[in-house]
Structure 1
């Protein structure tokens, strides 16, 4: 045997390197696994989506149908057939000055409730970071109890608190020097009455905002806040330039949900005014109800409700746009 043959025999066989062509080790196929994992969320969401379609689908379709028809008592009892009127209901509503007054009142009411809710909720959430553990636990228990109270019960309690004859609030204010509020009727005027209803809405919405913001504050890195303080930043600058940007996605979500909820306020106004809200207390929800069940014009009531839905969809569109911008930045 020659030396060349010995060298060749001792050289181990080399493994072929993978190439971009047809040779080499074939890649592991994971397409089926990815397809299965992509379909899993939809399979899990299917029962919920089916229930939403069944529960919300028919009422929404019926609402749209009624808004384009003439439908009153005669059509309800079957004495006459529903008549298609096209956009006449919308033209009548949009040409009514009272409708635009109700829209402006609803926007002002919702904006005030959202602003005060977010500010008070943020202040309480920040204060909860400074108290001891057992105090924080007691406050959270109180917040959850407040949040879980039924709306009708809370409205009845507020109605008693602000009663002109037996209200506790008037009695407490009258104890202040130079203040005489005994017998004062808070619902004699629309602005004062809506301010009381707004206070009720804020009282019921603050707990959710506080709990959510408190959870968000736990995700703010303490190192960033400490570094900002070492650089000479005060409490306001630390909050504005460190805490607030991190909480921005949560704040956008809470503000959007609050707008939707506060523009849909109904039981607070309805119960507070004994089922018959006066004109200066009308919001979009109660105005739609009155047109449908007090005037018995179900088509115009449906049209007002549909316009309210479209207005809320505009709020949701702004929310989605802000969330997409935040996602692009991240």
Structure 2
């Protein structure tokens, strides 16, 4: 009996080793690509953040000096990085809340529309989603243009004055971020709407009908029935929106090029881009801080996912 159990265990171990080797063979190309494209640059960035590596070292072929935490100390004490960080976090919160709110509302609205209207709304969302961020920013920039913008013309027509003639929306940081918010939310809503609409299709119709017969309001049905079904989907969408909105670059840089004051409207992406040319050590420190921040914000989702896999 013991020999039979020993033989069965050895076969089980051998099969496990074969499955492990097979999995490694299948995952090998992906692991190599991840190592070359992600792991190596990340490790190099961390190492460079502790040095005074500049373009001079690159040109002369000399090794940079190890400076420890000097780049990080200077970043938080001798630059405007803390203000940029707070500005980026505040903008991220506003954008994420608006995109999630309007995206979910549009998805719920699509469930109430007929087939024709639903197709029309879907096409409009796809057009907004498919437009490149730079193109969208240029179009909205013309809408808010100082001389030829439709917004200034409409405001003059509504007020019956010429107070809005030659009014610049990009010189003032508050109106700059107002325009930026419109652009980013306009392009971010379609992803949330389509994802939520697909998730709504998984909610059993008979459960919703039963709750309606029991007298539950629309808000109660969404909170107590629909939301539990959508929790995992909305969590993924929320984490993605946080990451994307914190890494925003194209729209901000394009609006700054049209008249915005960079020093007062920089976010993390544009601040990193506008750092001193060839200051690799200092910019690497900014990159490390951004990575740590993104990992911290997404850690809750990662931990929840790992717990679900264990169950």
1:82 aligns with 2:64: yes
For structure 1, list consecutive stretches of 5 or more residues without a partner in the other structure. 1-19
Q: How far is 1:182 from its partner?
A: 2.9
Instruction: Tell me if the contact between 2:239 and 2:298 (Cα under 8 Å) persists in the aligned partners.
Output: yes
**Structural mapping, 1:180-219, within 5 Å:** 180-219=163-202
RCO higher in 1 or 2 (8 Å CA, sep ≥ 6)? 2
**TM-score normalised according to structure 1 size:** 0.83
Worse-matched range after superposition: 186-195 or 207-216: 186-195
Q: RMSD in angstroms over aligned alpha carbons? A: 2.8
**TM-score normalised according to structure 2 size:** 0.88
1:283 maps to what in 2? Answer: 267
For structure 2, list consecutive stretches of 5 or more residues without a partner in the other structure. none
Relative to structure 1, is the Cα distance of residues 60 and 27 closer, same or farther in structure 2, using a 3 angstrom cutoff? closer
Q: How far is 1:45 from its partner?
A: 3.8
**Structural mapping, 1:82-121, within 5 Å:** 82-96=64-78, 98-121=80-103
Equivalent in 232, 235, 244 of residue 218 of structure 2: 235
1:253 aligns with 2:233: no
Rg bigger for which structure?
1
Instruction: Tell me if the contact between 2:170 and 2:255 (Cα under 8 Å) persists in the aligned partners.
Output: no
Answer 1 or 2: which has greater helix percent.
2
What is the CA–CA distance in structure 1 between the aligned matches of 2:79 and 2:206, rounded to whole Å? 56
SS in 1 for 2:285: helix
1:273 maps to what in 2? Answer: 256
What is the CA–CA distance in structure 2 between the aligned matches of 1:115 and 1:264, rounded to whole Å? 16
Instruction: Tell me if the contact between 2:171 and 2:261 (Cα under 8 Å) persists in the aligned partners.
Output: no
**Structural mapping, 1:12-27, within 5 Å:** none
What is the CA–CA distance in structure 1 between the aligned matches of 2:236 and 2:104, rounded to whole Å? 14
Instruction: Tell me if the contact between 2:173 and 2:264 (Cα under 8 Å) persists in the aligned partners.
Output: yes
The aligned length equals 307
